Structure 1
């Protein structure tokens, strides 16, 4: 009887040990995924070539608006930055025939990159056709990103979304 009890206790001990070993591997896997994502973000920052896709927008003094389609973007490159973002808010000195939204293309100036424990912050300004846009991108290590756009002719606006490497458009 004592041998059966001893075998039963030993069996439960081995089962508990194997279950605790699996939990550690889950934590290790999560840490490895986070480290991999952080390396991807760092590579995008170093290349200064990435695409921000807006998913949510918050106008100044307004409430959060979910964007249904992934058609709103900011293509950031050290040579040329292009944006097509929606705008909800107050505009100053904007004509009635002008385009809606924030649309510009130009070379970013005064690019400043700062790193903290949990994110990177990129500050730059881009001269568009009719306005100057001050951009502040905060790229978190998990891939989420926030974008703040300030301009001379519009109220500040904030976007939340994700950042990724640009897709290669091969035209034949």
Structure 2
């Protein structure tokens, strides 16, 4: 009986420190100022496709899991500026109107100069930023939910493909290079 009690204490101790280590200590004031300025960059760390066919195919590959495949390297972003929206995100899922000659158009890679931004804050203090590009044919809306600690969840709703979402974080924009 004493072995079980000590085992329970050890497991509780491990879970306590694991939960403390996984917390991100971002500053909520910095996050609020980024969202209010409407100039920030979302960095995607993980892709979450909604199509189970894609997930099943990734799980069927030998010696890998879909969770490892969908970890992104951080070079995929949604950059929001006062005069421009630049999106570079991968796409995993079913396209209803694929382009066969130009495979780069099968992912989300575009720059928009005509877009609207609506932002609101919910009861928990999380920001919801809705970006609607008007000069891009296949993207209907990009919804970015930003938590107090700077973590973010982005979903992209499109006209010609199934929806996809991304987990990541927001940061301040890097200065644009001089022309």
Tell whether the 8 Å contact from 2:116 to 2:133 is kept in structure 1 after alignment: no
Residue 39 of structure 1 corresponds to which residue in structure 2?
29
Give 1 or 2 for the bigger CA radius of gyration.
Answer: 1
- TM normalised by structure 2 equals 0.69
Whether 1:154 and 2:161 are equivalent positions in the alignment is yes
Instruction: Determine whether 1:109 maps to 2:115.
Output: yes
2:132 counterpart of 1:121: no
3-state SS of 2:33 partner: helix
Q: TM-score, normalised by structure 1?
A: 0.72
Aligned to 2:93: 89
Structure 1 pair 78/168, CA: closer, same or farther in 2 (3 Å)? closer
Alpha-carbon spacing, 1:72–1:120, altered in 2? closer, same or farther (3 Å)? same
CA distance in structure 2 between the partners assigned to 1:127 and 1:104 by the alignment: 12
Contact 2:114–2:135, Cα closer than 8 Å, also in 1: no
Query: For 1:2-151, what aligned pairs fall within 5 Å after superposition?
Result: 37-62=27-52, 63=55, 64=67, 65-98=69-102, 99=104, 100-107=106-113, 109-116=115-122, 117-151=124-158
Please say if residues 42 and 171 of structure 2, whose CA atoms lie closer than 8 Å, have aligned partners that are also in contact. yes
Partner of 1:92, secondary structure, is coil
CA shift, 1:171, in A, is 4.0
User: What's the RMSD between the two structures over aligned residues?
Assistant: 2.2
Q: Name stretches of at least 5 consecutive residues in structure 1 with no aligned partner.
A: 1-32
Structure with more contact order per residue of length (Cα contacts < 8 Å, sep ≥ 6) = 2
**Given the alignment of the two structures, is residue 166 of structure 1 paired with residue 161 of structure 2, yes or no?**
no
Post-superposition Cα deviations, 1:59-83, rounded to whole Å, max 9, x if no partner, equal 1134555334111111012321001
CA distance in 2, matches of 1:157, 1:132: 12
Shift of 1:93: 1.4
Residue 19 (structure 1) aligns with = none
Alpha-carbon distance in structure 2 between the residues aligned to 1:169 and 1:109: 19
Q: Which has the higher strand share?
A: 1
